[in-house]
Amino acid sequence: MTFLTDGTAVKFTGINHVFTVYSTFVEFNIGSSAFSIKFYGLIIALGFLLAVLFGGRMAYKWKMDLNKMLDVLLYGTIGGIIGARLYYVAFEWDYYSQHLSEIPKIWNGGLAIYGGLIGGILAAA
């Protein structure tokens, strides 16, 4: 198991410090298969967990049906991921028009927050 292996140096003008930014949180093997967990995916998973906890609390507070609240969270999450990917692909269409098989491969990167918000809101509505 290897942590934080792909650092990129980032320096801002006027700050005399170089920051190291990592995209991969951890890499590990299970049998002969290699896996990696990216920071972006970790943040999305944490956001989903917090949304479930907050949604459950609000459902209880507002005396809503918890199952309906979980349905909204589930549909919103799925819609958000699809929307984030479609938005990204739309703005990188020059590449994806030549590589159509790459469109569903979100594990290779390429999600856009604006598309996630649009897709999540539409799916949850």
- Per-block mean pLDDT, blocks of 10 residues, the chain (125 long): 69 78 80 82 86 86 86 89 93 92 86 90 89
52-66 b/e (C-beta count within 10 Å ≥ 16 → b): eeebeeebeeeeeee
Whether pTM exceeds 0.85: no
Instruction: Give the whole-angstrom CA distance, residue 9 versus residue 21.
Output: 6
